[in-house]
A and B are shown apart, each in its own frame.
Chain A
Amino acid sequence: MVTLTAPETAAPEAAAPAESDGGAAPTVVDLADASVRSLNQALHDAVDGQSWTITSPGGKHSLAVGISARVAVTIEGHTGYYAAGMHQKGDVTINGNAGVGLAENIISGRVHVTGDASQSAAATGHGGLVVIDGNAGARCGISMKGVDIVVGGNIGHMSAFMAQAGRLVVCGDAGDALGDSIYEARIYVKGTVASLGADCIEKPLREEHLAELAELLEAAGRTDNPADFKRYGSARNLYHFHVDNSSAY
Chain B
Amino acid sequence: MTVTSLPAPAQAPAAAPAQNLAASDIAALGLRESATFDRATIADIQRAAATGVYDIRGWGAKRKVPHFDDLLFLGASMSRYPLEGYREKCDTDVVLGDRHASRPLHLQTPVTIAGMSFGALSANAKEALGRGASEVGTSTTTGDGGMTPEERGQSKHLVYQYLPSRYGMNPDDLRKADAIEIVLGQGAKPGGGGMLLGQKITERVAGMRTLPVGIDQRSASRHPDWTGPDDLEIKIGELREITDWKTPIYVKIGASRPYYDTALAVKSGADVVVVDGMQGGTAATQQVFIENVGIPTLAAIPQAVQALQELGVHRKVQLIVSGGIRTGADVAKAMALGADAVAIGTAALIALGDNDPRYAAEYADLGSAAGFYDDFQDGRDPAGITTQDPELASRLDPVAAGRRLANYLRVLTMEAQTIARACGKSHLHNLEPEDLVALTIEASAMARVPLAGTSWIPGVQGSF
Contact = CB atoms under 8 A, between A and B. Distances in A.
B225 interface: yes
Given A81-B234, A107-B170, A66 B242 contact: yes
A59 to B, nearest CB: 12
Nearest to A184: B212
B224 A139 contact: yes
B52 interface: yes
B244 interface: yes
Contacts of B215: 183, 239-240
A85 B238 contact: yes
B210 interface: yes
A193 to B, nearest CB: 21
Contacts of B225: 82, 100-101, 104, 120, 123-124, 139, 142
Contact of A88 (B53, B171, B216, B238): B171
Interface string A34-48: 001100110010000
B210 A126 contact: yes
Given A124-B166, A139-B224, A146 B212 contact: no
B427 interface: no
B171 A107 contact: yes
A37 B209 CA distance: 31
Contacts of B242: 40, 65-66, 85-86
B216 A240 contact: yes
Q: Tell me whether chain B's interface is mostly helix, strand or loop, or mixed.
A: loop
A88 B243 CA distance: 14
Interface residues of A, number: 42
Nearest to A43: B241
A157 to B, nearest CB: 14
B231 A44 contact: no
B211 interface: yes
Contacts of A85: 238, 242
B235 interface: yes
A41 B240 CA distance: 11
Contacts of B170: 86, 105, 107, 126
Nearest to B193: A162
Contacts of A7: 244
Given A142-B224, A239-B216, A240-B215, A81 B238 contact: yes
A53 to B, nearest CB: 19
A110 interface: no
B226 interface: yes
B191 interface: no
Contact of A101 (B53, B211, B226, B245): B226
A143 B238 contact: no
Nearest to B195: A241
Contacts of B77: none
B216 A40 contact: no
B51 interface: yes
Contacts of B171: 66, 68, 86, 88, 105, 107
B14 interface: no
A62 interface: yes
Interface in A113-159: 120, 123-124, 126, 139, 142-143, 145-146
A36 B242 CA distance: 11
Interface residues of B, number: 33
A212 to B, nearest CB: 18
A81 B215 CA distance: 33
A243 interface: yes
B174 interface: yes
A164 interface: yes
Contacts of A88: 171-172
B139 to A, nearest CB: 23
A145 B211 CA distance: 9
A243 B231 CA distance: 37
A61 interface: yes
A145 B166 contact: yes
A123 B234 CA distance: 16
A62 B442 CA distance: 47
A9 to B, nearest CB: 14
A61 B238 CA distance: 8
A165 interface: yes
A85 B167 CA distance: 16
A82 B220 CA distance: 20
Interface string A45-89: 000000000000000011001101000000000001110011010
Nearest to A158: B224
A164 B231 CA distance: 24
Nearest to B169: A105
B306 interface: no
A105 B220 CA distance: 15
B234 A124 contact: no
Contacts of A239: 198, 212, 215-216
Find the residue from A123, A139, A145, A184 having the highest chain B CB count within 10 A: A145
Contacts of A183: 211-212, 215
A37 B238 contact: no
B20 interface: no
A186 to B, nearest CB: 14
A104 B226 CA distance: 11
Nearest to A40: B241
Given A68-B171, A85-B242, A164 B211 contact: yes
A82 B239 CA distance: 10
Interface string B221-236: 0001110000100110
B237 interface: yes
B224 A82 contact: no
Contacts of A66: 171, 241-243
B108 interface: no
A242 B234 CA distance: 39
Contacts of B245: 37
Find the residue from B167, B224, B226, B243 having the highest chain A CB count within 10 A: B224
Nearest to A44: B244
* Chain A to chain B: the 3 pairs with minimum beta-carbon distance, closest first: A66-B242, A243-B52, A101-B225
Given A101-B225, A183-B211, 8 more contacts: A82-B234, A100-B231, A101-B238, A105-B169, A107-B171, A184-B212, A240-B198, A243-B52
21 contacts: A37-B245, A61-B238, A62-B241, A80-B234, A81-B231, A82-B238, A88-B172, A100-B225, A101-B225, A101-B238, A104-B225, A105-B170, A123-B225, A124-B224, A142-B225, A146-B210, A162-B220, A164-B210, A164-B211, A165-B210, A239-B198
